[in-house]
Structure 1
Amino acid sequence: MRKENIKNTIGFLTGASDIVAIIGSLKRTAFGPFERFGNAVRPGQVPSLPTDSTDPRERFKVAARTHAVTEPEIGRRTRMTAWLFWLPATAGFAFIGLALANACNHDFNGTVTTGCAMSMCFMLALKHGFANYQFRNRALLSFREYLNEANLLPKFKKEGGRS
C-alpha cells in the first residue's frame, strides 16, 4: 500500500478526516464573508489595455476598440444595465417587505432567508448601476467615484446626450 492510501485509511477509520473537513467548513463559513468583503473593497488589478493613458475616458475608448464594442452597442448596454438595475432593486424592496412581515410573525428563519435574498438583489443592482454609470459617462471610472456620485440611480441614456 502506498503511504497516501494508508493515511486516507487511517483518517477514515479514526474519523480524523471528517473532523478536518468540519473544521475547514467552519473556517470558510466564519471567515469567508470577511474575505469576500475585503476583496470587494480592496483595489484590484486594473486590466492592461494597449495604452499608457491614465485618463478614464481615453481608457474607455481603447477598451471599446479592443473589444470591438460600437457606439450603438454602448447605447444598448446603457439601457440594458439600467433595466438590470431596476429588476433586482424592485425585487429587493419586495424582499424588505417580506422580511418585515416574517419578523413581525416571529419567523426568524424566514427573516434571515429573505434578508439574504434582499442583499443579493441589492448587490446585483449595485453591480449593474456601476456598469451603467461607466457606460453613460463613457469612462472607466472607479467604484469609489460611483459611490461619491450624488445620484446613484441609473439612467437609460448617455448623460448630456442621446443614446
Structure 2
Amino acid sequence: MMQEVVPFKKFKTETEQTGAALVTILTAEHEISVREQIETAAGTLIAFYFYNSRGLYKLIYTIVAKNGTVQAYAEPDGILSTLLKGPDQQPWVSIIPYHPDKELEISVPLFQPGLTEIPKGKRPFPGQFICQVNQSAVFYDVDIWSDLKPDRLLNIELCCRILSYA
C-alpha cells in the first residue's frame, strides 16, 4: 500500500497582484528544481525537488490556487514523478517507488493512494502526459537529438481496484 503525501511547509510564499496577473512566489533557503506542472480544478499542480543544505532533496507537490494560496505535500516514497489526470480528472502521479533492486514506475492517485491496490510496475517511460482518454493516460515522447528515432506514444490504463472507502 502506498503512503499518503504529507503536508510540507518549509518554504516562504508571497503573493503580488501585478497589472497582468496575480503572481505567487515560492522562496526556499537553498534550491527548488521544478519537474513539471499541470492544471487541476484546485489550481496549478507543480512537482519539484526541494533541496536541503547537504544537496539532498525531497519530491514536493504544490497546488497554487487561482487566488494565490499554496498547499504543499511531500512524497514519502518515490522519485521522478510525472503528473497526469485520472479518469475522474483528479491528479494522479506516475512515480518510481524506492526499491533497492529494481526501478519500476507505477501510476496511482496523488491523494489517497492507499485506497487503491498498487499496480504492477512497468519500465519507466520518458514521455510527457498529453491527455486522458476514458480510463487511460496518454504520454508522448520525441527524441529531439535524433532524426532517426520515431516519436512514441504510450497508453497507460489507470484502473486501480479500490481497497476501501474513507
TM-score range normalised by the length of the shorter chain: under 0.3
TM-score, normalised to structure 2, is: 0.21
Structure with bigger RCO (C-alpha 8 Å, 6+ apart):
1
TM-score, normalised to structure 1, is: 0.21
**Higher share in helix:** 1
> Which structure would you say has the larger Rg?
1
